[in-house]
Structure 1
Amino acid sequence: MSETPSAGTRVVLVDDLRSFVDGRRAEVARTSEAGVRLLEGYRGRRLDELWLDHDLGEDDTIWPVVEVLERAAFDGRPLDIGVIKIHSANPAGAAKMTQALRRWGYRVTPASGSTAVGYLDKPVSPAEPPA
């Protein structure tokens, strides 16, 4: 079964390094701040899929994005999201995100190890100078 959404599907990916490798169209946020801005634009609009990574580089994590979702639900106006897919490689972070978001009624699906997201270019390690 393919994970590729149909044309016209609204998808947001919040991940500092990975992208969709299957060519699907998505709005991408590389920081929690950018993720919060993207979600604010979906108030009152349907978002079909929200893909979340936990660790966003340096000291940044997904928690500011999760807090926006929690606050909206607490205020009785949860964002209209079909499914939230957590693709984090951080098992403890993924579990906490799942628990927090399900508590507020969001539909959450674990997607760690999904082949839909990956590195489009091989990341350069600090010991390896760029070519």
Structure 2
Amino acid sequence: MNEDPAVPRPVILGIDDLRPLPRATRIARTSREGIQLLQEHHDSFIDELWLDHDLGGDDSIMPVVTVMEEAAFSGRPFHIGTIFVHSANPIGAETVVRALTRWNYQVRRTTA
């Protein structure tokens, strides 16, 4: 099956230290890589963003969430269709959902 080059491929980004996220077009494994990935896409539409709370060791998704909150506060939020929070950490996941929902991002808690 040939894909039509005129139809843009969805941009699906994932930030997760372990999961393969097979639908993702790009994956970051640390919060630092996640921030860089988001900054690369700041001026374009992201169809889906998949976030895991715990990223190994002392790393978490919270630095990424802070960047997203600051962008919304400054009037330049990231343009994201849906953010999926798929963490096995229920308290961390709820913290992410609440923080991003407060800034009018469309967020859903789900499993990956």
Q: Does TM-score exceed 0.5, indicating one fold?
A: yes
Are 2:45 and 2:80, in contact at CA under 8 Å, matched by a contact in 1? yes
Are 2:14 and 2:24, in contact at CA under 8 Å, matched by a contact in 1? no
Larger Rg: 1
Q: Distance in 1 between matches of 2:97 and 2:77?
A: 16
Kindly report structure 1 stretches of 4+ aligned residues shifted beyond 2 Å.
none
103 and 19 in structure 1: CA distance in 2 versus 1, 3 angstrom threshold:
same
Shift of 1:42: 1.0
Q: Which residue of 2 aligns with 1:103?
A: 102
**Secondary structure in 2 matching 1:8:** coil
Q: Which has the higher helix share?
A: 2
Alignment deviations for residues 36-58 of structure 1 (CA, whole Å, 9 cap, x no partner)? 00000111100000000000001
When normalised by structure 1's length, the TM-score is 0.77
Q: Which residue of 2 aligns with 1:18?
A: 19
Q: Which residue of 2 aligns with 1:86?
A: 85
Tell me the matched-pair count: 106
RMSD between aligned residues = 1.4
Question: In percent, how many aligned pairs have the same letter?
Answer: 50
Q: Which residue of 2 aligns with 1:77?
A: 76
Q: Distance in 2 between matches of 1:25 and 1:108?
A: 17
Taking the TM superposition and a 5 Å limit, the aligned residue runs for 1:1-131 are: 8-20=9-21, 23-111=22-110, 114=111, 117=112
Shift of 1:26: 1.7
Q: Distance in 2 between matches of 1:50 and 1:56?
A: 15
**Secondary structure in 1 matching 2:34:** helix
Shift of 1:24: 2.5
For 1:101, the aligned partner's letter is L
Query: Tell me, which stretches of 5 or more residues in structure 1 are unaligned?
Result: 1-6, 118-131
Q: Distance in 1 between matches of 2:89 and 2:25?
A: 23
Shift of 1:25: 4.3
Q: Distance in 1 between matches of 2:70 and 2:38?
A: 12
Query: Tell me, which stretches of 5 or more residues in structure 2 are unaligned?
Result: 1-7
Are 2:82 and 2:105, in contact at CA under 8 Å, matched by a contact in 1? yes
